[in-house]
Amino acid sequence: MTTGGRRWASQAGYNLLELMLVLGITGILSGMAVLQMNSARPGLKADGGMRIVLSKMNQAREMAITQRRNMRVSFLGVNQVQIIREEVPGPATTVLSSAIMEGGVQFLLVSGLTDTPDAFGNSAAIAFGSATEVKFLSDGTLVNQTGATLNGSVFLAISNLPLSARAVTVLGSTGRVRGYRWDGRHWTRV
């Protein structure tokens, strides 16, 4: 359209074909995102369980050092971690902290998986040898009920989902705590 020698540009918006194409691409991308979220969910739940065990082990060690008291770490049932302080004097104890792993994550050793790079054992889901008690001393070391230094591993997973396998290891002489994630071929440190 021209008016007085001027030409006016068309003021048209998007046509229907362009709008349908954008909506179609958006729908495809949204569907892919939903599928990815569903496949990642078990791994995220397992990571949450591993972080609970990591934090409780680190918390028990730090409390043993700062409070100058022995701190037991107990693994109850299939999914609970508890920190217990040994009182002085006497055999009295106090439960200080307790946490439950949710989302179906439990202490579980997935069959066929190799041991972690720390190689502290994978004979059971909670592998601290023959220890009946696991506790941190006031110097930060991890020992058993007789006071012998102890290395160990705690394995976690969601039943029937091998890629949800996680492990927490403790080096007894220093109290160092590490987390590992199974990627389908080997353990990777978190």
Rounded-to-integer distance, Cα 22 and Cα 13, Å: 14
Confidence (pLDDT) at 3: 56
Tokens coding 16: 């229907």
**81 occurs within a structural domain:** no
Note down the domain range covering 142.
Answer: 15-55+100-189
Look at residues 61, 73, 62 and name the one whose alpha carbon lies nearest to residue 132. Answer: 73
Rounded-to-integer distance, Cα 84 and Cα 136, Å: 10
pLDDT per residue as tens digits for the range 44-93: 899 999 999 999 999 999 999 999 999 999 999 999 999 999 998 878 99
**70 occurs within a structural domain:** no
Please state, as a whole number, how many other Cβ atoms lie within 10 Å of the Cβ of residue 119: 11
Structural domain count of the chain? 1
**72 occurs within a structural domain:** no
**82 occurs within a structural domain:** no
**141 occurs within a structural domain:** yes
Output the CA torsion sign for 73, 77, 78, 79: negative
Distant-in-sequence contacts of 12-20, Cβ < 8 A, 24+ apart? none
H or E element that contains 134: none
Please state, as a whole number, how many other Cβ atoms lie within 10 Å of the Cβ of residue 45: 19
Half-sphere exposure of 39 (CA within 13 A, CB side): 6
Mean pLDDT across 150-154? 96
**175 occurs within a structural domain:** yes
What are the beta bridge partners of residue 157?
106
This prediction has a pTM of 0.80
Rounded-to-integer distance, Cα 54 and Cα 45, Å: 14
**78 occurs within a structural domain:** no
**67 occurs within a structural domain:** no
